[in-house]
Structure 1
Amino acid sequence: MPDAPQLLKPRTLRDPAALVQAGLVSPEAQAGLERVAEHYAMAITPTVQALIDRSNPRDPIALQYVPNAAELVTLPSERSDPTSDAPFTPVKGVVHRYPDRALLKPLLACPVYCRFCFRREVVGPDGGLLTEAELDAALDWFAATPTVREAILTGGDPLMLSSRRLRHMIERLSAVPHLDIIRLHSRVPVAAPERINDDIIAALSTHKAVFLCVHANHGREFTAEAAQALRRLRLGGVTLLGQSVLLRGVNDTAEALENLFRTMLTHQVKPYYLHQLDRAPGTARFEVPIAEGRRLLRQLRGRLTGLAWPTYVLDLPDGSGKAPLGPDFARQQDDAWLVEGPLDGTTHRHGD
């Protein structure tokens, strides 16, 4: 009897030729995307591939991950370091912009590469992994900086680390008396949920408070596999938060945002931040004006539980911090406040 055909294991797509073969882009687009690949990393995991609706040229999942030749156009307002990481790096791998918290970037690799990423010029498959000596120096910095109460593991994606290396970092940070909180930012639970295994859960086990910010921008990203990964994290003692970016064509309607935030809550992920787009090179096609973002959130106030309400923020350059963008429902008039009711639009005077 002939041998049974072997099924090819789904793989992460990492170059334009693979995208063409998978039917995610046309053959005619390949040459342009090869030029994009010279500047910016690309990766689309099997989980994400399965979510893409190939019949929809404006599919909100594909828009986030499939490269586009427009990425080669840089506007004067775009910056290679829009959040000003570099000026606030006391040692390699650490960013200290806020008095009471600091970032630890142990690597610069991700399971997927978002086409709007504000670190898109430095992240990539080579990993940017800190050496043992560099990691020790970064961890020593946290131990020697008593004003810092929270360590935020980001990158890159910290859940792309081996469980051994992740455990080492969590243990070192947990031993620092003045650190109260360890926070991680990750796409892994939705983009590569198979990585959330017993070893990763064990690595995150500590007596400190552990928070995981799950980056997701569309309700469809919460697959059954993602739900299982998130449940394992919760049962492992990790508190889950959600952070998203307001993106043109992805979630720029009140209905899409409502679905995203409600879906997060059903998985016990508390919406935390909705980010205004950071103006990294080649990302202009994703930008939603702030006025439009405020209108969208205003539509949701009152029809969406406060549990699902994130803070809409703009990360300012030069270390100025994250500024809340509203929307506002109150304005001062003489010695009183005029407050608009979110449910019916009526104005109420609140004063002495």
Structure 2
Amino acid sequence: MSHAAPTDREDTTGPPPARPAPEQAEWDDWRWHMRKRVNTVEKAREWINLTEGEERAIAGVAGRYRWSITPYYASLMDPDDPLCPVRQQAVPAADELLEFPGAEVDPVGDTLYRRTNRVVHKYPDRVILLVTEACPVYCRHCTRKFHTTDLQGSYFRDDEGGAYDEDLRYISEHPEIRDVLLTGGDPLSYQDGRLEEIVAGLRAIPSVEIIRIGSRFPVLLPQRITEELCTMLSRYHPVWLNTHFNHPKEITPESAAAVDRLLRHGIPVGNQTVLLRGINDDVATMRRLMTELLRIRVRPYYLYHCDNVTGVAHFMTSVEKGWEIMEGLQGHITGFGVPQYVLTTKIGKIPVSRPSFTETPDGGLLLRNFRGQELHVDATTHPITETDAR
């Protein structure tokens, strides 16, 4: 699908915004950031010089899509450039209100596989547990935009604050479930005590081997990753955390410190980047992102093709663009720094990287490396079928 590149290049150059200057103790307190989130035009003007287009978009999404930005994440935005990669992920855009062919509120099928108020059981041995609708920043490219930011919508059948008895019972009655991913919204929006109740409930189920947390707090508000949180989570190992760094600009001393705290408490950190038009859809940016992630000891996990979600489709690239980026990564950076390129669908996550080989008429393989060099190997060297194997 082809969409026009962003064109909001209105001149916003002017006096720099008088950005808030809190005390260091306030800046280090994640609760302060949550209380002071940017969610009005007036608050946004404290951080950036809004364009007329951005102001119209903010008015246009009112009553449909929530938006808020933590002061920390706002501090990463270029005050004068509406195409700043951080700003595009956080500030509403007019394209969110456009209609795109094939766009759906739930293209990945969460609602099709929902078994309780919170449990989504798509894969044989694992489920997701929808913890909350709340996020510190409502990312404009969110796959669950209907669930987390549509003011009239939710995937919850009942209120999110209700008891977890039904959800935990479902998991315990299905012993094939060995892996539970807490997601939402962002589970770390909850206070430590409430979060621990959920994690402890899962850990009490003998068949649950792995607990994962999907959270963008390390990116959007790394101050949330406190020593107390990490100590609490470490009581319930094995616990893993997956996050979403989408641009090198998001890798800061604060986010690196948050990752370090998680790792020092035995919590591995993986990254699931979303391929986003105008933000990271070029080889140089993606290569830098992956190498910077390795530097702070975050393992690149997935490169998600942007889902065709209502209100999000303007961020989509072509699959061919994804192939171009993957080929620009493979061989140019260390192997474990190359994520798996996937398309998320109603039938699951489908790897869509272009193969680096073709079968030849003689039953062999024609191999192609990252430089484009080719090598033919015959069936006696590398048998394709098991009957031919030594």
Q: 8 Å contact 1:39–1:121 — kept in the other structure?
A: no
Displacement of 1:130: 2.1
Q: Secondary structure at the match of 1:315?
A: strand
Shift of 1:297: 0.8
How do 1:89-168 residues align onto structure 2 when only pairs under 5 Å count? 89-124=114-149, 130-133=160-163, 135-168=164-197
Partner deviation per Cα, 1:112-137 (whole Å, 9 max, x = no partner) = 1111111111214999762242x222
C-alpha separation between the residues in 2 aligned to 1:125 and 1:264? 32
Stretch deviating more after TM superposition (335-344 or 111-120): 335-344
After superposing the two structures, state which structure 1 stretch, 113-122 or 20-29, moved more: 20-29
Cα distance change, pair 205–250 in 1 and its aligned pair in 2 (3 A)? same
CA distance in 2, matches of 1:40, 1:350: 57
Corresponding residue number in structure 2 for 1:3: none
1:339 Cα deviation (Å)?
0.6
Q: Does residue 1:341 correspond to 2:369, yes or no? A: yes
1:327 CA drift (Å): 2.5
Q: Which residue of 2 aligns with 1:274?
A: 303
Alpha-carbon separation, structure 1, partners of 2:370 and 2:249: 28
Q: Distance in 2 between matches of 1:26 and 1:42?
A: 17
What does residue range 28-67 of structure 1 map to in structure 2 within 5 Å? Answer: 29-67=54-92
Structure 1 alignment gaps of length 5 or more: 1-5
- Alignment partners' CA distance in 1, 2:206 and 2:306: 36
Match of 2:107 among 61, 74, 82: 82
Q: Distance in 1 between matches of 2:329 and 2:376?
A: 20
- State the AA in 1 paired with 2:203: S
Distance 1:180 1:205, change over 3 A: same
Aligned to 1:321: 348
Give yes or no for the alignment of 1:247 onto 2:272. no
Q: TM-score, normalised by structure 2?
A: 0.83
- The CA distance in 2 between the partners of 1:16 and 1:139, in whole Å, is 42
Deviation at 1:221, TM superposition (A): 0.6
Q: 1:29 to 1:157 in 2, by over 3 A?
A: closer
- For the residue of structure 2 that corresponds to 1:51, the secondary structure is coil
For 2:101 and 2:40, locate their aligned partners in 1 and report how far apart those are by CA, in whole Å: 28
Distance 2:320 2:245 in 1: 22
Give the partner amino acid of 2:349: K
d(CA) in 2 for partners of 1:24 and 1:89? 42
Q: How far apart in 1 are the matches of 2:41 and 2:117?
A: 32
2: CA distance, partners of 1:302 / 1:273: 17
RMSD, matched Cα: 2.0
1:351 aligns with 2:379: yes
CA contact (8 A) 1:174 1:206 kept: no
Aligned to 1:122, the other structure's residue is in SS state helix
Q: Percent identity?
A: 33
Normalised TM-score (structure 1): 0.92
Please tell me the residue identity of whatever aligns with 1:349: V
Contact 1:78/1:281 (CA < 8 Å) preserved in 2?
Answer: yes
* Contact map agreement 2:92 2:140 (CA 8 A) in 1: yes
More divergent stretch after superposition (51-60 vs 330-339): 51-60
Structure 2 letter corresponding to 1:280: V
| Matched letter for residue 321 of structure 2 | E
Aligned to 2:29: none
Distance in 1 (alpha carbons) for counterparts of 2:147 and 2:314: 20
Give yes or no for the alignment of 1:186 onto 2:211.
no
Take 1:217 and 1:100, find their aligned partners in 2: how far apart are those partners? 28
Cα distance in 2 for partners of 1:162, 1:54 equals 32
3-state SS of 2:213 partner: strand
Partner of 1:307: 336
Does residue 243 of structure 2 align to residue 214 of structure 1?
yes
Q: What residue in structure 1 maps to residue 255 of structure 2? A: 226
Count of residues in Structure 1 that have an aligned counterpart in Structure 2:
344
Whole-Å separation in 2 of the counterparts to 1:326 and 1:152: 25
